Amino acid sequence: MSFPTWGLDPKARTIRVYYEGSDTLYEGYALCYNYDTTDNWMGKSAADLTVESATTAEGYQNEGKFIRVEKPATANLQWFAGVVAGNAGGITGPCALDIYVPNGAIVPVRSKISSTVGKHALAIQNAQYYLGNPAAGNTNGAGRYVAVAEETVDRSSTEGLCLARLCPNEFLYQSHGTTKLHFASAGTVDIAANFINVASSQTTGGFTGLWVRSETTACGNSDTALGIYGEANVLGVFSASSLMAHRFSLNLWGGTQTAGEIAAVQAEIYEEGANLTGSTLICPLFLRTQIDSTNPPAANSHWMIACRVDGADKPDGLLFANSADAIGFIAKTSAAVTHVIPIRVAGTTYYLMVSNAA
């Protein structure tokens, strides 16, 4: 099928694939490769007088994996192939047909959301030919964002065509369907699934290796992490001397540092007009631990905060506050106690006694 060049993004590229299902497909329908098939591209057999056999076993480069396509499903969302090109009147499978491959071109897709040009992301999802918002969220294989809407149109009630930029590489996903993508053991070699190694020679302005920014108007999940959510699961015995879910290091390699404040980690909360009277806890740092009481750790090994000094210069103290208000410092009149710091335990306020006596 040919298209006038003035009616199609010149970057758009089509390939012919084989749809192995029996549904009727329309322009813009999303399809995924049947990545784990052993069937050849059209399942030919020797009886068809071709050189093709019906199947090619795993390990022998079966071409069906990049030619045979199917309806999106939870297990194949990682293998998004593209969207149906043309066929406005529909074409019923099984059949060969053309699809637009996801290369950043703007093409018609089947949408099920109300979109604003250049603003809304569109996801492929389980058991749907249209792109939209994953009904069950976007974790554990429920959906995968693959496009950005390039047309302002309301398709939220009835699915329909919407111009969109097919750009799955703009969204970071690493999974094997609904399971974890495995990184093979490399002996004693360290493995980093994603590695960012950057440098800057600028003398003014800020420089950040990775900047994550997110925004929401409302969210009902009690454990929502708006910026970054990190989880590390240890399923066996970890033999290293230290086991940490997250580690932050600030390495100062030379020069006379003139920064007024130096910190490996900075946590902040800014109230910019919000009403916080309904909050029961506001803190820049929240620590939580859960240890099985039937198998408790060794005595004097379970702490909420651990401090360690590796250099020759010891710290001047445990806590630095830029003002008395920062720690709720309260003056007291006592021979032994000059001030107290309030702490709250299980709903009751207690006081740490502070004295500046030597």
Instruction: Among 124, 142, 170, identify where a domain stops.
Output: 170
CA distance linking residue 195 with residue 197, whole number of Å: 6
User: 162, 23, 157: which is closest to 90 by C-alpha?
Assistant: 23
Residue range 336-346: mean pLDDT, rounded: 87
Residue range 317-340: mean pLDDT, rounded: 86
Q: Is residue 233 part of a domain?
A: no
- Which range is least confidently modeled, 161-170, 195-204, 221-230, 261-270? 221-230
User: C-alpha distances in angstroms, 273 versus 159, 214, 266, 270, 276?
Assistant: 39, 19, 22, 9, 9
Residue 17 CB partners (closer than 8 Å, separation 6+): 31, 67, 68, 69, 81, 96, 97, 98, 99
* Mean of the per-residue pLDDT values of the chain: 86
CA distance linking residue 42 with residue 31, whole number of Å: 17
Confidence of residue 303 (pLDDT cuts 50, 70, 90): very high
Q: Is residue 110 part of a domain?
A: yes
User: 36, 59, 61, 40: which is closest to 51 by C-alpha?
Assistant: 40
**What is the length of the chain?**
358
Residue written as token pair 């329908």 = 29
Q: Is residue 39 part of a domain?
A: yes
Q: Is residue 229 part of a domain?
A: no
**How many structural domains compose the chain?**
2
Instruction: Among 170, 201, 236, identify where a domain stops.
Output: 170
CA distance linking residue 67 with residue 35, whole number of Å: 9
Task: Give the pairing of strands 68-70 and 121-125.
Answer: unpaired
Q: Is residue 248 part of a domain?
A: no
Residue range 114-125: mean pLDDT, rounded: 95
pTM: 0.81
CA distance linking residue 348 with residue 228, whole number of Å: 32
Strand order in the sheet with 330-331: 330-331, 339-345, 348-354
Phi-psi region of 67 (alpha: psi -120 to 50; beta: other; left: phi over 0): alpha
What pLDDT, on a 0 to 100 scale, did the predictor assign at position 354?
81
Instruction: Among 139, 154, 170, identify where a domain stops.
Output: 170
CA distance linking residue 107 with residue 151, whole number of Å: 10
pLDDT in tens, 105-114: 999 999 999 9
Q: Is residue 31 part of a domain?
A: yes
Under a CB-based contact definition with an 8 Å cutoff, are residues 248 and 265 in contact? yes
Q: Is residue 288 part of a domain?
A: no
Helix (H, G, I), strand (E, B) or coil at 106: strand
pLDDT in tens, 58-96: 888 888 899 999 999 988 999 999 999 988 789 999 999
What pLDDT, on a 0 to 100 scale, did the predictor assign at position 49?
44
Q: Which residues constitute the domain of residue 42?
A: 5-170
Q: Is the pLDDT of residue 1 over 60?
A: no
